[in-house]
Amino acid sequence: MAKCEVCGNEYYLAFQVITAGVTHTFDSFECAIHKLAPICDHCGCKVVGHGIEANGTFYCSAHCAHAEGARSIVDNAEHVPAQ
């Protein structure tokens, strides 16, 4: 059995995730998200979905990216900037 690096649980269905050449072991997606998900630079929530990268940082939504000055980011067709 492998041991989760976040919670320490030993679980026969533990899994590994390799990111940036480093192998991590988890017993649940919850622990993997806790350890690996980027954090929104504006509101501080974990970016679990696609998120947005703008100006070299991550945001959970277009709203948060806009609040930090990214103007060309859109999250739906109704908010497309004028050309």
24-43 per-position pLDDT tens digit = 999 999 999 999 999 999 99
The pLDDT score that the predictor gives to residue 4 is 98
Residue 43 and residue 11 in one domain: no
Please give the DSSP secondary-structure letter assigned to residue 51: -
Residue 78 and residue 45 in one domain: yes
Range of the domain at 7: 1-36
The pLDDT score that the predictor gives to residue 83 is 54
Q: pLDDT tens across 2-32, in order?
A: 999 999 999 999 999 999 999 999 999 999 9
Residue 28 and residue 64 in one domain: no
Q: How many domains does the chain have?
A: 2
Beta carbons within 8 Å of 74's beta carbon, 6+ residues apart: 62, 80, 81
Q: Is 45 exposed, middle or buried (0-12, 13-18, 19+ CB in 10 A)?
A: middle
Residue 42 and residue 61 in one domain: yes
Residue 30 and residue 43 in one domain: no
Residue 43 and residue 83 in one domain: yes
pLDDT of 80 higher than 70: no
Q: Which helix (H) or strand (E) holds 54?
A: strand 52-54
